[in-house]
Amino acid sequence: MGGQGPNAGEDNATQVEPSGHPGGSSAAARRPEGAAGRDTSTGDDAGAVRRAELADGLARVRARIAAACAAAGRDPGEITLVAVTKTYPASDVVHLRHLGVRDVGENRDAEAAPKAALVAGALAGWAPGAAGTGAAAFGGGPLTWHYIGQLQRNKARSVVRYADMVHSVDRESLVDALAAAVARERPDRPLDVLLQLSLDGAVGRGGVPEPELMALAEAVVRRPELRLRGLMAVAPLDWEAARAFGVLAEYTAKFLVGYPTATVLSAGMSGDLAEAIAFGATHVRVGSAILGSRPPAGLA
């Protein structure tokens, strides 16, 4: 089934993947929610255990991606795995980078901004040029930060300081806010954006309805501060994944006629990445299948 919720982007905070998350039900696989989570050492025994858990989860997900690509006749090299680290500590992001992950996703600015700064500090001596956050430090360097959650205009200035790509652009007022923020905070570095497409037109879940998609795309391409890279979508809760991504593929084909260079398609999460890949996803957003189950909000 699909999985769209109020923070469209990755799996539910309490979802546990049947395909296996690292460490099974181990308490070490659970992380509290917070601005940057509870940090763990990357050098002691606990850090080594956690890195092993993450390595196991990452291997499982990469195997699933490879299998999905084989079934679809695609090259796994076409797929970007975005590890969704919301509610997990900065140390997990550092572990993931050392395990070869280059793309991480967040959906709450209040958590993501301090986490990006902590990660930058931890990686500063590990990769040349990684002394800051965002595209200046990580574009082409150790990490690419993806903002995947619904975004309020008043958070635009903060988000553009660390995010390399925003997946959830769904209205012209947000286009204007992001462009203004880029002009102020990083005028020499345009921001990559994806348009979030609503597949069912439901109000309150984020996403632009398909009839309004082209007008929103035009609003983006008029702003030199932004680069239109493609589309993002989440399967509605009451739709089968194949139905959702089949509809998305049809909309994407029409979109590419007008915007042939906007080839990124961000779709698929822990539970439906195979279906998304079958219908053309280039980016899959996976959290719990790599990092373990998330506790209910407020559980330490």
pLDDT tens-digit readout, 125-152: 765 344 344 433 433 457 999 999 999 9
68, HSE (Cβ side, Cα atoms, 13 Å): 26
pLDDT digits (tens, 9 = 90+) for 69-84: 999 999 999 999 999 9
| Domain regions of the chain by residue span | 27-291
User: Residues 206-230: what's their mean pLDDT?
Assistant: 97
> How high is the mean pLDDT of the chain?
84
27-291 placed in CATH 3.40.50.800: no
Band the pLDDT of 204: cuts 50, 70, 90: confident
Quick one: pLDDT band at residue 202, thresholds 50, 70, 90?
confident
Q: Helix (H, G, I), strand (E, B), or coil: what is residue 166?
A: strand
- Grouping H, G, I as helix, E, B as strand and the rest as coil, residue 275 is helix
SS3 (DSSP) at 195? strand
**Do 155 and 181 form a contact (C-beta atoms < 8 A)?**
no
* pLDDT above 90: percentage of residues in the chain: 72
Question: How many Å separate Cα 156 from the centre of its chain?
Answer: 17
What pLDDT, in 10s, does the model give residues 242-265? 999 999 999 999 999 999 999 999
Whole-number pLDDT of residue 249:
98
Strand, helix or coil for residue 5: coil
Of 264 and 121, which is predicted with more confidence?
A: 264
CA–CA distance, 110 with 116 (Å, rounded to integer): 11
pLDDT digits (tens, 9 = 90+) for 158-179: 999 999 999 999 999 999 999 9
Are 130 and 137 in contact by the 8 Å Cβ rule? The answer is yes
- Chain-centroid distance of CA 69 in Å reads 20
Rounded average pLDDT over 33-49: 58
| Cβ density class 41-56: b for 16+ within 10 Å, e for less | ebeeeebeebbebbbb
- Which of these ranges, 4-8, 165-169, 233-237, 245-249, has the smallest mean pLDDT? 4-8
Nearest CA to 284 out of 29, 131, 143, 78 is that of: 78
What is the DSSP-derived secondary structure letter of residue 77?
A: G
